[in-house]
């Protein structure tokens, strides 16, 4: 058996790795012992973890770590021998020991000695506290322990094997996956080469038959002996070439099969390196929930399901902060005190649940509580109070639309600030992360019963399952996770409603859009030709995208586009197909946004490509740049209802691309946005000689004088707060800058 090369890993690094893994064991065990103090298996695992940490600390020369781990080990042994029974106060002290050991492990090597110097008093205080726990347990009858739980035997028992640890940077891991993907693509090129050799074999067959026919047609005595011998040699050589080529063709087919298999295994192995169990990303949450709940005087238990669900390491790391915010919000906002729960007929202990699973090629993560739920009336009141909408509009919003306001920056139902929540940043953080990884979130709440946050994310950021389609002679890839349905639509199934093409699907009327209007192309379908349609979006916003034809499903390795290109409209990334040719992967959310832009402007063409587009009255064009869907829609509808032609952008980068490629009479922008904020956008517009005269109106939640001055200094022509678009102030500002809607 080969021995792993650990020469690049220092002993301190190994100690850190050991401390991290054993701290997880100790934390999980202590939380379980808090509920069942005499659980023999948990006492055994905790004692062994402390013993392992003691040995690891001794090897690297961290004397303070040896002392702390030894004191914890003695405490667990005393509990195993039933000399003490661990209670909540004891658990607090032991968890403090876990924290100390982790702090030591995270200390830089040169600073490790301070734990034996200036921090010695803290260590001795901890050891004394544990010593008093053991001593105050009193004398107990000697217990005969079975060999399986004997502390003496377990101290001597060593772990049979340990996983080697190797540090690999994310950049190197991504490069490895990229090379594996390229290897997979290259291996597929052997197949068309083998097919070309088959054609050559057929050509040789034809040549041999031609030679045979030529010999048959020649008179037997019309050729000299030399000519006949030359013809026979040509036939023999042709047969030898044919046999040689057949043998080589068998060899290359075998090589193609082996190379493809090896490339698939290499790629699967590289991809597996990026995947981690969901448990790795949530291991700190049980301790966090326990500590926060105790601070709030609440009794809460956290259950985690789907710990072995495999998740892309990048997604798992990005989920850490949002899930932590959701749990803290649930503890502070959702979960009631024990007295409140008993009065409501509930158990005194509340249950928080985190669940992860794979479904339809996507990662589903839910965070749920059984608390008081979200009071929709309070949400409505908060929306009106913050002037995010007027009372008439709020009264007409559905539950899903109303709950969207919770994702706005700074929006909170908490009346005061605490160390735990009340700043309104938790769901904003969640929304930003979901945008980065192309995920979605949905809130389900029942007053008095609890709230569930359902997150849907891709399994990995490196690979995407797609449907390849042809549009205007060019291939495009559409992620399967965003496709609601694919179908062939007969011309007779198309209806005209309000001048637009629709069809019926499950009782719903779905609008039809030509993909070539979004992506380019000139194909005109025949009058009786069935249309290939992809249904995109989620109810109630579903659209049918007409493509030229379906090319089949394929799993693609995502290749990020050069950042110098900026955000390309309707495209999220690129990839290589099996034959090595490039293909663009569509950004489905951007595509839906483009469809809505065309629909709101009345610019959608008919289904037939040769039909004339509707002629619209020339109107002033306004670009709305806003990352919040709710606010963006409110602003768009307000301006569109006033007669302006409105186009929207989801952030500053998207807005800058729109300004550079389109013509607008006014830009209306938010300030706080991902990728590029509103101040940066205004600065770029005013520095570009082509568009510097374009008026810019800032609409922001920030209403402090310094915020207003910062926006105007950047070059904005107007600065308003977001509450202004619920009265005439915003519309009047637009009219002041560019005049009435129609020219």
In sequence order, the 6+-apart residues with CB closer than 8 A to the CB of 620 are 644, 645, 665, 666, 738, 739, 740, 741, 742, 743
Q: Which residue intervals of 34-150 are DSSP H helices? A: 40-60, 63-80, 88-106, 120-135
Q: How far is CA 612 from CA 393, 608, 615, in A?
A: 37, 9, 9
pLDDT of residue 722: 67
Percent of the chain with pLDDT over 70: 83
- Assigned CATH for 621-738: 3.40.50.2300
Mean of the pLDDT values across residues 321-331? Answer: 87
Q: Which long-range contacts (CB under 8 A, 24 or more apart) does 493-499 make?
A: 494/531, 494/607, 499/614
Averaged pLDDT of the chain: 79
The one-character DSSP state at 111 is G
Q: Domain coordinates of the chain in residue numbers?
A: 11-156, 171-276, 299-454, 463-601, 621-738
pLDDT band (50, 70, 90) for residue 666: very high
| Location of structure tokens 């039909």 | 611
Q: Is the pLDDT of residue 564 over 50?
A: yes
As given in the structure block, the two tokens for residue 8 are 């690049």
Domain 299-454 has CATH 1.10.3720.10: no
Residues 6+ apart with CB under 8 A from 59: 11, 15
Domains 299-454 and 621-738 share a fold: no
Residue 418 pLDDT: 55
State yes or no: pLDDT of 617 exceeds 60: no
Of the candidates 310, 54, 14, the one whose C-alpha atom is nearest the C-alpha of residue 163 is 14
11-156 under CATH 3.40.50.720, yes or no: no
Of residues 222 and 572, which shows the higher confidence score? 572
Residue among 333, 411, 400 at smallest CA distance from 373: 333
108-155 pLDDT, tens digit each: 666 667 777 777 888 888 888 888 888 876 333 333 333 333 333 333
Strand order in the sheet with 450-458: 300-305, 350-359, 362-369, 450-458, 440-446
Of 56-60, 422-426, 455-459, least confident by mean pLDDT is: 422-426
Banded pLDDT at 534 (limits 50, 70, 90):
very high
Is residue 681 a contact partner of residue 660, using CB atoms and an 8 Å limit? no
* Residue (of 429, 461, 448, 458) closest to 327 by Cα position: 429
Compare 203 and 188 and report the one with higher pLDDT.
203
In the chain, what are the helix, strand and coil shares in percent, each to the nearest 5? Answer: 50, 20, 30
Hey, which residues does 363 pair with through a beta bridge?
A: 358, 457
Domain 463-601 matching CATH 2.60.40.420: the answer reads no
- The residue count of the chain comes to 743
pLDDT of the residue at 696: 92
Q: What is the pLDDT of residues 627-637, one digit of tens each?
A: 777 678 778 87
Average pLDDT over residues 258-283: 83
Assess whether pLDDT exceeds 50 at residue 424.
no
522 near 472, Cβ under 8 Å?
A: yes
What is the distance between the alpha carbons of residues 726 and 710, in angstroms, rounded to a whole number?
A: 24
pLDDT band at 725 (very low <50, low <70, confident <90, very high): low
């Amino acid at each position: 058996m080969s021995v792993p090369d650990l020469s690049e890993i220092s002993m301190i690094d190994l100690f850190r790795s050991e401390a991290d893994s054993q701290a997880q064991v100790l934390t999980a065990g202590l939380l379980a012992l808090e509920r069942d103090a005499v659980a023999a298996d948990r006492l055994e695992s905790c004692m062994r973890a402390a013993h392992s940490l003691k040995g690891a600390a001794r090897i690297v020369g961290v004397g303070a770590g040896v002392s702390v781990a030894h004191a914890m080990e003695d405490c667990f042994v005393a509990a195993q021998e039933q000399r003490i029974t661990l209670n909540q106060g004891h658990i607090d002290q032991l968890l403090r020991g876990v924290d100390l050991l982790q702090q030591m492990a995270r200390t830089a090597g040169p600073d490790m000695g301070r734990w034996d110097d200036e921090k010695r008093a803290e260590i001795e205080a901890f050891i004394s506290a544990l010593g008093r726990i053991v001593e105050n347990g009193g004398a107990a009858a000697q217990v005969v322990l079975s060999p399986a739980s004997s502390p003496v035997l377990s101290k001597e028992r060593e772990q049979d094997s340990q996983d080697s640890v190797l540090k690999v940077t994310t950049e190197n891991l991504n490069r490895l996956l990229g090379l594996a993907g390229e290897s997979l693509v290259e291996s597929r090129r052997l197949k068309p080469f083998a097919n070309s050799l088959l054609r050559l074999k057929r050509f040789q067959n034809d040549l041999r038959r031609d030679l045979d026919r030529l010999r048959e047609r020649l008179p037997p005595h019309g050729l000299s002996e030399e000519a006949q011998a030359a013809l026979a040699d040509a036939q023999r050589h042709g047969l030898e070439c044919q046999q040689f080529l057949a043998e080589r063709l068998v060899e290359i087919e075998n090589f193609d099969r082996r190379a493809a298999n090896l490339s698939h295994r290499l790629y699967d192995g590289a991809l597996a390196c990026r995947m981690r169990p969901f448990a790795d990303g949530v291991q700190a949450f049980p301790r966090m929930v326990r500590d926060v709940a105790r601070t709030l005087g609440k009794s809460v238990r956290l259950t985690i399901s789907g710990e072995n669900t495999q998740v892309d390491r990048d997604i798992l790391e990005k989920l850490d902060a949002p899930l932590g915010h959701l749990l803290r919000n649930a503890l502070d906002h959702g979960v009631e005190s024990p007295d409140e729960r008993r009065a409501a007929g509930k158990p005194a202990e509340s249950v928080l649940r985190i669940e992860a699973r794979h479904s339809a090629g996507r990662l589903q993560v839910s965070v749920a509580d059984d608390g008081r739920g979200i009071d929709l009336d309070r949400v409505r009141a908060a929306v009106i109070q913050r002037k995010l909408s007027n009372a008439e509009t709020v009264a007409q919003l559905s539950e899903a639309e109303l709950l969207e306001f919770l994702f706005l920056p700074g929006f909170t139902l908490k009346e005061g600030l605490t160390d735990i929540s009340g700043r309104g940043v938790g769901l904003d953080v969640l929304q930003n992360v979901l945008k980065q990884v192309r995920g979605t979130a949905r809130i389900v709440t029942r007053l008095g019963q609890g709230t569930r946050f359902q997150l849907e994310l891709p399994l990995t950021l490196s690979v995407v399952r797609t449907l390849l389609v042809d549009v205007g002679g060019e291939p495009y890839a559409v992620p399967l996770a965003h496709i609601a349905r694919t179908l062939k639509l007969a011309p007779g199934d198309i209806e005209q409603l309000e001048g637009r093409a629709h069809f019926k699907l499950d009782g719903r009327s779905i609008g039809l859009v030509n993909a070539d209007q979004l992506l380019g192309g000139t194909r005109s379908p025949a009058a009786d030709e069935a249309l290939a349609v992809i249904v995109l979006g989620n109810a109630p916003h579903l659209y049918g995208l007409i493509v030229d034809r379906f090319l089949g499903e394929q799993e693609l390795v995502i290749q990020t586009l050069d950042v110098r290109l900026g955000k390309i409209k309707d495209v999220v990334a690129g990839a290589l197909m099996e034959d090595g040719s490039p293909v663009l992967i569509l950004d489905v959310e951007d595509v839906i946004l483009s469809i809505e832009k065309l629909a709101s402007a009345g610019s959608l063409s008919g289904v037939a490509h040769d039909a004339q587009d509707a002629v619209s009255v020339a109107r002033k064009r306004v670009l709305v740049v806003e990352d919040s869907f709710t606010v963006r829609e409110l602003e768009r509808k307000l301006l569109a209802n006033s007669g302006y032609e409105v186009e929207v952008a989801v952030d500053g980068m998207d807005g800058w691309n729109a300004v550079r490629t389109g013509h607008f009479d006014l830009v209306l922008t938010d300030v706080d946005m991902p990728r590029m904020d509103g101040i940066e956008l205004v600065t770029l517009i005013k520095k570009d000689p082509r568009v510097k005269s374009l008026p810019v109106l800032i609409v922001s939640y920030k209403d402090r004088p310094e915020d207003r001055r910062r926006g105007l200094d950047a070059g904005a022509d107007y600065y308003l707060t977001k509450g202004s678009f619920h009265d005439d102030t915003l519309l009047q500002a637009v009219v002041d800058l560019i005049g009435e809607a129609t020219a």
